[in-house]
C-alpha cells in the first residue's frame, strides 16, 4: 500500500508529505467507532438544521444534506457502505466523504464551525444514551425473572451462610432476593449515569465555541439531550461520562460475579442445591461425566475485564492537559466493549436464572440443628435473660451436643436444665426450621410475608416506565 496522501485527508491542507501507512493505521478509529454511524448521522442532520436557521444553508442545500445523510445511514444499515481505506480515518470522515460523493459541493458546508472534537462527544453520548436505556430494560428483565423465581420457590428453606459456614435457616427465595437487592442498587445508580451522559456537546467547536451564533439549545432538544454542556473547553475533553459508565458497570459486574460464584458453589456435588441448565453449560473434552457452569464462570471472568477497562481508562485520563488530546480516543473502545459485555452478561444471567433447576430436598438435608442455636438463645431472652448471657448458654448447649455426638434437638431435657433451669419442655418447639424462618418477619427479613413484600416491591419497580 502506498503512503496515504495527507492532502486528501480532511485535515491535510497544511501538510505536503504523505502520512506513514503504519501511522494511518495507528491513528484510525473506524475499525471500532463505525458502530456510532447512526449517532454521527443524526448529529450531522441536527447540525445542518441549525446552520439552516443561520441562513448558512439554503433550503435546497439542507434538503440535499438530509437526504444524502439518510442514504449514507441506509448504506451502513444494509452493510453496503464502502470504506475508503486511504481516507476514512473515523466514522466522521467516512460519513462526510461519502456524503460529498452523493450530493457534491453542498456537503462541504456541513462542517462549518464544527470540529470532530465535539462530534465524537455527540456520537458517544447519543450512542451510549441509547445503549444505557437498553441496559436498564434488560436489568429490569433480570429483576422480573428473579422475583418470579422467588415467588415460585417461596416454600423452600436452605442454610444461610456467613464466612461460608452454615449460619441460620433462610428461604431460598430470600437468598435470590439478596442478589436482586444489589441489582436494584445498580438500576438506581444507572439513572444518574444516564442523566450525566445526556449533556449535549454540539456547538462548542474545537475548544473555544462556535463563531456563528449556533443555537445549542435547539440542537440539544432536537437530539433528545437533557441538557447543554456548559463549557466549550471542558466539553471537548469531557469523558467523565465514560468513566461513569465503566465504574457503574464494574460494580454491576461485581454483583453478577458474586451471584455467579454462589450458583457455581451451589451447583457442585458437595452442595447439590441447584443445577444449571444444559443450555448454559458445557462439557469436558476428556471427562464425559462433566457438566460445567461455563456461563457463570465467564460472567465471573468478564467482571475482571470490565474492571480493567475502568482502571485502564482512568490511567489514560489522569494526566491529560486541558482540552482535547488524541489520548481521548482510548475512551471509545472500552466504552463500546464494556456496554456489549454487560448486556450479554445480563442476558445470560437471566437465562440461567429462568432455567435453573432447584433441589429442595438437598437444601433441607443441609439444615442442621446447630443452626438454631440463636433460636435457643432467643427462647431464654423471652424469659427475661439478657442476650449476652443466653448466647453463652446456647453455646454450652451446642458443646454438650457435640460431646454427646447428637443433634442438640435430641439432647434430653435434663441436659438443658443442667445448663439453665429456665428451660422447659416447650424448648422442643424451638427446633423447627419453618418456625425459625417465620419469626424473622420484620421488614427485609426471611419470613414468607417479608419475602413476598420484597417480591411485590421488585414487581412494582420493573413496571415503572
Contact 68, 102 (CB under 8 A): yes
Of 365, 382, 402, the last residue of a domain is 365
DSSP assigned state of 320: P
Same domain assignment for residues 163 and 257: yes
pLDDT at 6: 56
Q: Taking residues 180-194, report their average pLDDT.
A: 98
The predicted structure's pLDDT at residue 375: 94
Q: Do 262 and 360 belong together in one domain?
A: yes
**Per residue in 94-108, pLDDT tens?**
999 999 999 999 999
Same domain, yes or no, for 90 and 212? no
Check if 163 is active-site: yes
Same domain, 213 and 269: yes
Q: What is the mean pLDDT of residues 332-350?
A: 98
| pLDDT score of 355 more than 80 | yes
**What would the mean pLDDT of 413-419 be, rounded to a whole number?**
94
Residues 68 and 194 in one domain: no
Same domain for 361 and 373, yes or no, is no
Q: Per-residue pLDDT for 252 more than 60?
A: yes
- Model confidence at 313: pLDDT above 60: yes
Q: Indicate whether 100 and 120 sit together in one domain.
A: no
| Angle ∠(377,416,421) on CA atoms, nearest 5 | 85
Backbone φ and ψ of 227, nearest 5°: -155, 170
Both 91 and 147 in a single domain? no
Are 200 and 150 within one domain?
A: yes
- What φ, ψ does residue 138 adopt, rounded to 5°? -65, -40
**CA 94 – CA 101 distance, rounded (Å):** 11
**Region 222-231 average pLDDT:** 98
Q: Whose grid coordinates read 449514507?
A: 72
Beta strands 199-200; 227-228: pairing state: parallel
Q: Is residue 176 part of a domain?
A: yes
Predicted TM-score (pTM) of the model is 0.92
CATH code of the domain in which 103 resides: 1.10.275.10
Distance from C-alpha of 217 to C-alpha of 287, rounded to nearest angstrom: 64
Return the CATH number at 455.
1.10.40.30
- The alpha helices in 153-279, defined as continuous H runs, are 172-197, 216-223, 232-235, 240-266
Return mean pLDDT, the chain. Answer: 95
Closest by alpha carbon to 238, among 317, 353, 126?
317
Could you tell me if 276 and 157 are in contact, meaning their C-beta atoms sit under 8 angstroms apart?
no
Of 58, 227, 284, 449, the active-site residue reads 284
Structural domain span for residue 442: 369-463
Q: What is the pLDDT of residue 35?
A: 97
Q: Give the pLDDT band of residue 318 (cuts 50, 70, 90).
A: very high
In a domain, 1, yes or no: no
The pLDDT value given to residue 211:
97
> So what's the pLDDT on residue 284?
77
Is the domain of 132 the same as that of 75?
A: no
Q: Is there a domain that residue 170 lies in? A: yes
In a domain, 216, yes or no: yes
Respond yes or no: is residue 44 known to be catalytic: no
The predicted pLDDT at position 445 comes to 97
Residue that terminates a domain, selected from 365, 393, 425:
365
Phi–psi pair at 71, nearest 5 degrees? -65, -40
| Domain-located, residue 268 | yes
Q: Where are the alpha helices (DSSP H) in 78-115?
A: 91-103
Q: Which of 60, 89, 109 is the last residue of a domain?
A: 109
**Whether residue 203 sits in one domain with residue 222:** yes
Length of the chain: 465
CATH number at residue 320: 1.20.200.10
For residues 99 and 370, what is the distance between their CA atoms, to the nearest angstrom?
Answer: 75
Cα dihedral across residues 113, 117, 123, 129: positive or negative: negative
Give the model's pLDDT for residue 152. 97
pLDDT at 14: 58
Domain count, the chain: 3
How many angstroms separate the CA atoms of 218 and 47, rounded? 10
Residue 456 pLDDT exceeds 90: yes
Residue 29 falls inside a structural domain:
yes
430 located within any domain = yes
Q: Please check the confidence at residue 81 and state whether its pLDDT lies above 90.
A: yes
123 in a structural domain: yes
Whether 4 shows a pLDDT value over 60: the answer reads no
Claim to verify: residue 216 and residue 337 sit in the same structural domain = yes
DSSP conformation letters of 2-69: PPB-GGGSTTGGG--SPBPHHHHHHH--HHHHGGGHHHHHHHHHHHHHHHHHTTSS-HHHHHHHHHHH
Above 70 in pLDDT, residue 278? yes
Amino acid at each position: 500500500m502506498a503512503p496515504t496522501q495527507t492532502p486528501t485527508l480532511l485535515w491535510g491542507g497544511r501538510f505536503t508529505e504523505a502520512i506513514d501507512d503504519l501511522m494511518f493505521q495507528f491513528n484510525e478509529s473506524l475499525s471500532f467507532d463505525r458502530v456510532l454511524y447512526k449517532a454521527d448521522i443524526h448529529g450531522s442532520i441536527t447540525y445542518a438544521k441549525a446552520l439552516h436557521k443561520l441562513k448558512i444553508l439554503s433550503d435546497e442545500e439542507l434538503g440535499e444534506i438530509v437526504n444524502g445523510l439518510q442514504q449514507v445511514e441506509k448504506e451502513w444499515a444494509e452493510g453496503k457502505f464502502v470504506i475508503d481505506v486511504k481516507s476514512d480515518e473515523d466514522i466522521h470522515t467516512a460519513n462526510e466523504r461519502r456524503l460529498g460523493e452523493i450530493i457534491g459541493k453542498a456537503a462541504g458546508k456541513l462542517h462549518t464551525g464544527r470540529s470532530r472534537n465535539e462530534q465524537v462527544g455527540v456520537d458517544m453520548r447519543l450512542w451510549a444514551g441509547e445503549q444505557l436505556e437498553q441496559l436498564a430494560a434488560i436489568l429490569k428483565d433480570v429483576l422480573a425473572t428473579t422475583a418470579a423465581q422467588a415467588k415460585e420457590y417461596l416454600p423452600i428453606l436452605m442454610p444461610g451462610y456467613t464466612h461460608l459456614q452454615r449460619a441460620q435457616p433462610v428461604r431460598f427465595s430470600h437468598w435470590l432476593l439478596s442478589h436482586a437487592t444489589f441489582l436494584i442498587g445498580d438500576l438506581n445508580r444507572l439513572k444518574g449515569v444516564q442523566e450525566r451522559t445526556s449533556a449535549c456537546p454540539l456547538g462548542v467547536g474545537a475548544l473555544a465555541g462556535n463563531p456563528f451564533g449556533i443555537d445549542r439549545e435547539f440542537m440539544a432538544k432536537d437530539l433528545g439531550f437533557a441538557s447543554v454542556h456548559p463549557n466549550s473547553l471542558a466539553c471537548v475533553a469531557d469523558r467523565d461520562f465514560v468513566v461513569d459508565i465503566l465504574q457503574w458497570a464494574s460494580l454491576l459486574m461485581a454483583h453478577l460475579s458474586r451471584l455467579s460464584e454462589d450458583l457455581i458453589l451451589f451447583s457442585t456435588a458437595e452442595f447439590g442445591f441447584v443445577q444449571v441448565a444444559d443450555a448454559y453449560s458445557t462439557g469436558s473434552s476428556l471427562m464425559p461425566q462433566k457438566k460445567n457452569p461455563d456461563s457463570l464462570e465467564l460472567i465471573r471472568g468478564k467482571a475482571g475485564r470490565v474492571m480493567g477497562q475502568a482502571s485502564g481508562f482512568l490511567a489514560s485520563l489522569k494526566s491529560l492537559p486541558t482540552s482535547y488530546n488524541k489520548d481521548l480516543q482510548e475512551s471509545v473502545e472500552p466504552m463500546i466493549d464494556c456496554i456489549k459485555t454487560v448486556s450479554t452478561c445480563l442476558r445470560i444471567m437471566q437465562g440461567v436464572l429462568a432455567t435453573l433447576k432447584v433441589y429442595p430436598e438437598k437444601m433441607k438435608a443441609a439444615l442442621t440443628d446447630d443452626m438454631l442455636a440463636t433460636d435457643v438463645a432467643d427462647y431464654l431472652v423471652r424469659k427475661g435473660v439478657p442476650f449476652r448471657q443466653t448466647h453463652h448458654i446456647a453455646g454450652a448447649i451446642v458443646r454438650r451436643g457435640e460431646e454427646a455426638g447428637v443433634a442438640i434437638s435430641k439432647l434430653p431435657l435434663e441436659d438443658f436444665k443442667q445448663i439453665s433451669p429456665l428451660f422447659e419442655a416447650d424448648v422442643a418447639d424451638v427446633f423447627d426450621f419453618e418456625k425459625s424462618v417465620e419469626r424473622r418477619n420484620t421488614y427485609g427479613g426471611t419470613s414468607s410475608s417479608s419475602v413476598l413484600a420484597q417480591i411485590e416491591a421488585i414487581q412494582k419497580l420493573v413496571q415503572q416506565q
